[in-house]
Structure 1
Amino acid sequence: MQPRQFSMLDRLITSADQALRTLVPGAANAGRPTPANGRTDAEMSETERKHAAGLMRINHTGEVCAQALYQGQALTAKLPDVREAMEEAAEEEIDHLVWCEDRIKQLGGRTSLLNPVFYGLSLGIGAAAGKISDKMSLGFVAATEQQVCKHLTSHISSLPVQDEKSKAVLLQMLEDESKHATVALEAGGHKFPLPVKLAMTGLSKVMTKSVYRI
C-alpha cells in the first residue's frame, strides 16, 4: 500500500496546528512522563525560584524555536525521508516543551511573552534552510542542537543545587538533543564553518538574555 502523499496545503494546515499546540499554554501533550517525577521539590528561596524559573523559561523558548525550525524545514524539505525525519524530531521535542512548561508553573513562573516572535523567526529560518538544500537543512539542525547542548550544560550547573526536579528535566533534554545533532550529521548534514556558528551563538545570546526576564 502506497503511503499517502501530502500536498503543500496539507502540510501548511499541519504546521498551523503545530504552531497553536506550541504557543498556546497547556495545548501540547508529552509522549513521555517528565523526568522530574519522583524527585523531591526542595525548599528554595524566592530568589532561587525566580532564577530557576528564568532558566527553564529560556529552555522552553528554545523548544518553541526548535518546533518552528523543524516545521519550517519540513515544509520545504525536498526528500520525503528528510521531511519525515524533521517531523519526527519535532514530535520528540514536544516532550521537552511540555516538561519545561510544567516545571515553570511549579516554580511559580510563566512562559515567555516573546515566544510568538521567536517562533516566527525560527519558522522562516527553517523554511529557508530547507529551500536551499536538505544537506543545509540537516546541518542547521545539527548546529542548532549543538548550541542547545551548550545552553543546557551551562544551565544545569547554574541551577540552585537543591533543584533536582529542574536538573532531571535538563539532563534528559541534553541526552535527547545530543542524539538529534548526531543523527542530523550522520544523515548527511553540512558541517557549518566557525564564523556561522559564532553568528548563531550571538543570536542565541540575544534570545537568552531577553527571555530570562520577559
Structure 2
Amino acid sequence: MTTSRHYSFIDRLLNQADQSLRTLIPGAAQPNRPSPAQHLANVPMDEEERQHIAGLMRINHTGEVCAQALYQGQALTAKLPDVREKMEHAAAEEIDHLAWCEQRLTELNSGTSVFNPLFYGMSFGIGAAAGLISDRISLGFVAATEQLVERHLDDHLLQLPEEDIKSRAILEQMREDEIEHGNQALEAGGAVFPAPVKQAMTLLSKVMTKAAYKA
C-alpha cells in the first residue's frame, strides 16, 4: 500500500526556493512538451523586425516568470491540499511556455529581461498574499491573470510579421493553454474580480511590458 507524503511548510519553502532558481536561471527550465516551433524554419528578417519580435518574446517570457512566481506563492500559502496541487500543476504546465520563449529568444540572438528577478519577487508576494486571504481569491487571481495574458498574446499575434511562423506557433499554443488554465481556475471556485481590480492589474502589467520589451 502506498501513502502520500505530507510536506511541512519548511519543505514547501525549500521547494519554492528551488523552483525560483529554475525559473530565473537561463537554461534551467526544462519543458515537458517540445516547442510547437521546433520543426518550423527560421525566415530571414531585417534587424528592426528581429529586435521587435525579440522584444515581444521577452515580454512573454517575463509574463511566464510572473506566472510561475504567482503560482508558487499561492501554492506556498494555499489552505486546501487540492488547491495547492492545482497551483503546482498549473506552474508545471507554464514551465513549457517559459522554456519555449527562452528558446525563441536564443534563436533571435537575444536574451531574457534583466528585470525578471524584480517582477518574480513582486508576483510571488502577490500570490502568497492571495493564498493567505483565501483559496477562492487565490484561484480568482489565476483566472484574472490568465485573461490578462490572453489579451497580451492576442495583441502580440497581431504584431508579428506573417512570415514569422516560429514565434506565431509558440504564442498560439500558449494562448490555448492560458484560456484552459483560466477556465479551470473559475470552475474550481475562483472569484470573479471586479473591474477596478482588473484595471489595477492591467496598469501593473503595462509597467512590466514596457520594461521587458527594452531590456
- TM-score of the superposition, structure 1-length normalised? 0.99
Coordinate RMSD, CA, aligned: 0.6
1:212 aligns to what SS in structure 2?
helix
- Map of 1:14 onto structure 2: 15
Q: How far has the Cα of 1:162 moved from its partner? A: 1.0
Which region of structure 1 is more displaced relative to structure 2, 34-43 or 55-64? 34-43
Shift of 1:2: 3.0
**2:39 match: secondary structure:** coil
Aligned counterpart, 2:96: 95
SS at match of 2:92: helix
1:81 aligns with 2:110: no
Deviation string 1:24-63 (CA, Å, 9 cap, x unpaired) is 0001100000000221211111100000000000000000
Amino acid at match of 1:12: L
Query: Share of identical aligned residues, percent?
Result: 65
Give the secondary-structure state (helix, strand or coil) at the position aligned to 1:31.
coil
Q: What is the alpha-carbon distance in structure 2 between the residues aligned to residue 28 and residue 2 of structure 1?
A: 29
Instruction: Please show how residues 38-117 of structure 1 align to structure 2 within 5 Å.
Output: 38-117=39-118
How far residue 171 of structure 1 moved from its aligned partner, in angstroms, is 0.2
- Find the counterpart in structure 1 of residue 160 from structure 2: 159
- Bigger shift: residues 1-10 or 134-143: 1-10
The AA in structure 1 aligned to 2:39 is G
CA deviation after TM superposition for structure 1 residue 160, in Å: 1.6
**What is the match of residue 186 of structure 1?**
187
CA–CA distance in structure 1, aligned partners of residues 3 and 111 of structure 2: 45
1:34 is paired with a residue of what secondary structure? Answer: coil
Rounded to whole Å, the distance in 1 between the matches of 2:26 and 2:38 is: 20
Q: Which amino acid aligns with 1:137?
A: S
1:186 Cα deviation (Å)?
0.3
Q: Which amino acid aligns with 1:158?
A: Q
Q: How does the TM-score come out when normalised to structure 2? A: 0.98
Matched, 1:26 2:54: no
Distance 1:161 1:76 in 2: 43
The 5 Å alignment of 1:116-131 reads 116-131=117-132
Secondary structure, aligned partner of 2:214: coil
Cα distance in 1 for partners of 2:149, 2:192 equals: 16
Deviation at 1:161, TM superposition (A): 1.7
1:180 maps to amino acid: H
Worse overlay, 36-45 or 21-30: 36-45
**Structure 2: gaps spanning 5 or more residues:** none
Match of 1:2 in 2: 3
**Misfit runs of 4+, over 3 Å:** none
Q: Which residue is 1:169 aligned to?
A: 170
Partner AA of 2:121 in structure 1:
G
Distance 2:163 2:53 in 1: 11
Counterpart CA distance in 2 for 1:63 and 1:3 is 30
CA distance in 1, matches of 2:157, 2:36: 14
